[in-house]
Chain A
C-alpha cells in the first residue's frame, strides 16, 4: 500500500493528550516486544480464528460486496472498502472475543512491562 489509510479516529486517541508521548513510546515498546516474542503473531491468529468462528468475517464480506455492487466492481478501491467497513467491523466484534483478547493482551503487558 502506497499511502496510509484514512480511518475514523479511535475513541481513546484524544482522551489522554498529555500522556500522548509517553503512551506512544510505551505502545511502541510493547509492540516491539510483542512482535519479537511472537505473541503478536499468536494474537493475530487467535483474533482471526475467533472472528471467522462467530461469523464476523462473513458479515464484513457481505458489507464489502454490497459496497462493490453500489460502486461498480471496477471503480472500487481498497482504501474505500476499509473506510466503509471499519466502523461496522470495530463495533460488531462480539464481547466474548473482545474480552478474551483483552485479557491476553493485558497479561502480556503486565508480564512484559513490570
Chain B
C-alpha cells in the first residue's frame, strides 16, 4: 500500500481526497434528508399539520374579507346608515334598548350609556370636579331608596345619609339635567 501510494503521486492523493470528501458530504446531506423525512412523517402521522391547514385557510379568508371591505366598489352598504352584519341583520348606529343606570337610577339608552356614565360617575375626560359631589349624592339617594338596607355599608348611618342627600339632591338634578 505504501509503495502504491508513493508511486501514484500527489495527484491521485488529491483525487482520492476529493472523492472522500464528496462521500462525506453526501453522507451529511443524506442524514439531513432523513431528518426532514422523519420530521414530515411524524407531522403527517400525528396530524399536526391539520391545524396548520386550518390556520392557513382562516388567514386566507381574513385577507379576502379585508380586501372586500377595502374595495371601494363594494361599499354600497357601508355608506348607508345601517350596516348588515355577518348574519344579515341590521343594527342602528346607537343601540336603542333602554335600561336604568345602576349609579343614578335614571333611564338610559344603551348607546348613550358610556357618555352618561362619564358624567354620572365623574371619572371621564369631560367630568368636572363638581361631578364628584353629584356622585356621592346619587349614591346616597340610591341607598335611601332601596327598601333593603342590607347592602348599605353603614346601616346605622341611614338618617345621616338622608340628611346629606337632601342637602344636595337639588344640585344633582340640575347638574345632570344640564349635562344631558
Q: A residues near B, CB below 8 A?
A: 5, 7, 10, 12, 15-16, 19, 22-23, 26-27, 30-31, 34, 43-44, 47-48, 51, 57, 60-61, 64-65, 68, 73-74, 76-78, 81-82, 85-86, 89-90, 93, 98, 101-102, 105-106, 109-110
Residue of A nearest to B18 (CB): A106
Alpha-carbon distance between A77 and B25 when the two chains are bound, in angstroms: 25
Q: What are 24 A-B contacts with C-beta separation under 8 Å?
A: A12-B23, A15-B19, A16-B19, A23-B16, A26-B20, A27-B24, A30-B20, A31-B24, A43-B24, A44-B31, A47-B25, A61-B39, A64-B41, A65-B44, A65-B49, A68-B40, A76-B44, A78-B41, A89-B29, A89-B33, A98-B25, A101-B28, A105-B25, A106-B17
Please give, as numbers and ranges, the residues of chain B lying within 8 Å of A60 by CB-CB distance: 33, 36-37, 40
User: How many contacts A-B (CB < 8 Å)?
Assistant: 109
Please give, as numbers and ranges, the residues of chain B lying within 8 Å of A109 by CB-CB distance: 17, 20-21, 24
Determine if A76 and B41 form an interchain contact, defined as CB atoms under 8 angstroms apart: yes
Alpha-carbon distance between A62 and B40 when the two chains are bound, in angstroms: 9
6 extra interchain contacts, Cβ-Cβ under 8 A, other than A64-B41, A85-B36, A102-B22? A27-B24, A68-B40, A73-B45, A73-B47, A89-B29, A93-B29
Determine if A47 and B29 form an interchain contact, defined as CB atoms under 8 angstroms apart: yes
Known: A47-B28, A73-B44. A78 touches B38 (CB 8 A): yes
Interface size in chain B (residues, C-beta < 8 A): 30
Q: Is B32 part of the binding interface, using a Cβ–Cβ cutoff of 8 Å?
A: yes
Q: Is B102 part of the binding interface, using a Cβ–Cβ cutoff of 8 Å?
A: no
Residue of B nearest to A13 (CB): B23
Alpha-carbon distance between A16 and B20 when the two chains are bound, in angstroms: 12
Residue of A nearest to B17 (CB): A109
Interface secondary structure of B, over-half rule: helix
Alpha-carbon distance between A47 and B47 when the two chains are bound, in angstroms: 28
Interface secondary structure of A, over-half rule: helix
User: Shortest CB–CB separation between residue A31 and chain B, in angstroms?
Assistant: 7
Known: A109-B20, A110-B17. A90 touches B37 (CB 8 A): no
Determine if B37 and A102 form an interchain contact, defined as CB atoms under 8 angstroms apart: no
Determine if A105 and B38 form an interchain contact, defined as CB atoms under 8 angstroms apart: no
Q: Is B34 part of the binding interface, using a Cβ–Cβ cutoff of 8 Å?
A: yes
Q: Which 3 A-B pairs have the closest CB atoms?
A: A64-B40, A105-B21, A81-B37
Alpha-carbon distance between A106 and B30 when the two chains are bound, in angstroms: 18
Q: Is B63 part of the binding interface, using a Cβ–Cβ cutoff of 8 Å?
A: no
